[in-house]
Structure 1
């Protein structure tokens, strides 16, 4: 990896002078062992493969770290960056100054010239970095969140990741907060990453008040290039289901576990999804709202024009996750059974053991 702190800056030496304090705050899942702080990795995962030198010694400077499992190495600015999921040097520097109670320096043109250009906010590259800082969902708060919403279909969910401290900015001038988050990879038909979607989660776990999402104004945000692309679950052959939300499509997969599905993340993006060349039948999981109706009409027209059979699946309540949570899995299966083609009932609906 390229250490973010390899770019000269007066702040680069400061965290090392308080190495243990930085480790205790940003690597709280680790512990001190002699002159080292040991933890799983720079993202604050439990374990002991990464070690941070706490004081200068003949072997090296304080604040330098190495991950024996991956060979990665860096210093404490990298720890701040990865543990919080920050993408730009400015955000890392601001966080470090805040933690160390350092004054903000006056802009220095020479110093600015030595920094690498920041990753554009909301770009596909920023999405790639965020996803690389995340981890698989099993055993994490994301799994707790999904199961709290009644979702049992956690197979083929490699497109979902967990970030324990994903940064969230309520407004342009508001201070940055950190919340755990479900990170979803948005990809094109060839599997190329084009963006990411964040769902910030309540660290206290699932509750009916916020349905497991963090108690913030906008607990869901997307970044990157979404138009035509989606979050994929399974590989499409001739039949596929498409809908807006991740939770909606995973709810449907709880009843139709073998049917490939995509989540377009919004009504507008659902109407613009790209069709795989092999697609012959498209099931559209609609939401019972006006925005969903508009997207539905556009998508049906596009599908018919492309020679694709389109079949609309309608929930009994507001969406298929509401059906799953409030009516139960058996009721959802029964509802979908009469809406899909008979040949697909045998092919995709889970049969009783």
Structure 2
């Protein structure tokens, strides 16, 4: 097939990116401007990101995808080829034309252009900013009780976290919207500009997460960005979950840290230009090892020293809850660079 014909097909598929993903990557789901799935062969998971919006071609085009666990990337023609196991490109093109000839419903974002709570497109960066603005400081709220129950009691420097007592939760696109309390986290870029938000819906008494299928969800523009605690300069610690990151902060409150919200997002975080040492807060989770190894490799390519910090249990919050802050501090001290022990743990 001539290259211009393939490019035109990819562009046309990109205009229907969400419909393509729902059809060929049905194991995944939409999260803000992306479709998340395990890989291009439609395995369940969250390491592959497909852009649902963007320009028709070039960098950031709609339909472009990357797998943070393997480094694979491509367009929606590759999705069709891999999902169906097609070897000959003429068969891929024939399938693409067949799909494009079908009627496709407009994606949810177009059908419902505004969010009743914010006046902005659901899942957009603007909606995330308005949600965070409507939330209240975390101190003395149900969100603080939730964190306290997880042994996270020192909340200084956590302005990225807020509490919303009546945050919308929709189990799926066919179910009615529910109202539940939630901890809301701001996702920001390197300049501090908010690009997204993360919600953790809570049990009514703050004893844990809400008893729903997906108590954690993100919205907005997430790739490369994170929930940040402190401003990074030369040293930064990065992990997946908010509680995982807040746990070592109980004994390292002055060390800048960020929560990338997933292993795949952790692999894609952007580095401050002055960064020279990156601590990677690992979970004992083999599924995320590939993404974290890619992060370390990216750091090394830029001359940044990458140091892995390993918990005794499943993650650092498990360590904090089971062994206490003193034991966690002692374990971290053995893994930190001596200069950072003096800077962040002593004095």
For the aligned pair, the TM-score class normalised by the smaller chain equals 0.5 to 0.7
Structure 2 residue aligned with 1:186: 187
Corresponding position: 1:318 with 2:314: yes
Q: Residue 243 and residue 89 in structure 1: after superposition, are their counterparts in 2 closer, same or farther (change >3 A)?
A: closer
Structure 1 residue 89: Cα displacement: 5.8
Corresponding position of 1:159: 160
Whether the aligned pair in 1 keeps the contact of 2:236 and 2:257 (CA below 8 Å) is yes
* Residue from 253, 278, 284 that aligns with 2:280: 284
The residue that corresponds to 2:337 in the other structure is 341
Matched, 1:197 2:198: yes
Cα distance in 1 for residues equivalent to 2:325 and 2:286? 26
Give the match's secondary structure for 1:131: helix
Match of 2:257 in 1: 261
What is the DSSP-based 3-state SS (H/G/I as helix, E as strand, rest coil) of the residue aligned with 1:122?
coil
Say if 2:149 is the partner of 1:148: yes
Q: Give the drift of 1:205.
A: 2.4
Which runs of structure 2 are paired with 1:54-65 in the superposition (5 Å)? Answer: none
Q: Distance in 1 between matches of 2:171 and 2:233?
A: 41
| Residue aligned with 2:320, SS | helix
Q: Pairwise mapping of residues 1-353 of structure 1 onto structure 2 (< 5 A)? A: 91=116, 119-206=120-207, 212-349=208-345
CA contact (8 A) 2:299 2:306 kept: yes
How far off is 1:88 after superposition? Answer: 6.8
Higher relative contact order (CA 8 A, sep 6+): 2
CA distance in 2, matches of 1:320, 1:278: 27
Give the 3-state SS of the residue equivalent to 2:278 in structure 1.
strand
- Structure-1 separation of matches of 2:211 and 2:338: 43
Query: 1-side partners of 2:278 and 2:114: how far apart?
Result: 44
Pairwise CA distance, 1:118: 5.8
Instruction: Measure, in 1, the Cα distance between the counterparts of 2:247 and 2:123.
Output: 28
Q: Is the 8 A contact 1:142 1:162 kept in 2?
A: yes
1:291 shift after superposition: 2.7
- C-alpha distance in structure 2 between counterparts of 1:122 and 1:244, whole Å: 21
The answer on whether the counterparts of 1:256 and 1:350 sit within 8 Å (CA) in structure 2 is: no
Q: TM-score, normalised by structure 1?
A: 0.65
Contact 1:163 1:182 in 2 (8 A): yes
Corresponding residue SS for 2:136: coil
Q: 1:257–1:350: 8 Å Cα contact kept in structure 2?
A: no
Secondary structure of 1:328's aligned partner: helix
Go from structure 1 to structure 2 and tell me whether the alpha carbon gap of 1:350 and 1:182 turns closer, same or farther (over 3 Å shift): farther
Aligned CA distance change for structure 1 residues 229 and 144 (closer, same or farther; 3 Å): same
RMSD: 1.7
Instruction: Answer yes or no: is the 8 Å Cα contact 1:167–1:177 preserved in 2.
Output: yes
Shift of residue 186, structure 1, vs aligned partner:
0.3
> Unaligned 5+ residue runs, structure 1?
1-86, 93-116, 207-211
Instruction: Give the length in aligned residue pairs.
Output: 236
Q: In structure 2, the residue corresponding to 1:255 is in which secondary structure?
A: coil
Q: Spell out, residue by residue over 1:87-109, the C-alpha distance to the aligned partner (whole angstroms, 9 max, x if none).
A: 976757xxxxxxxxxxxxxxxxx
| CA 331–89 in structure 1, closer or farther in 2 if over 3 Å, else same | same
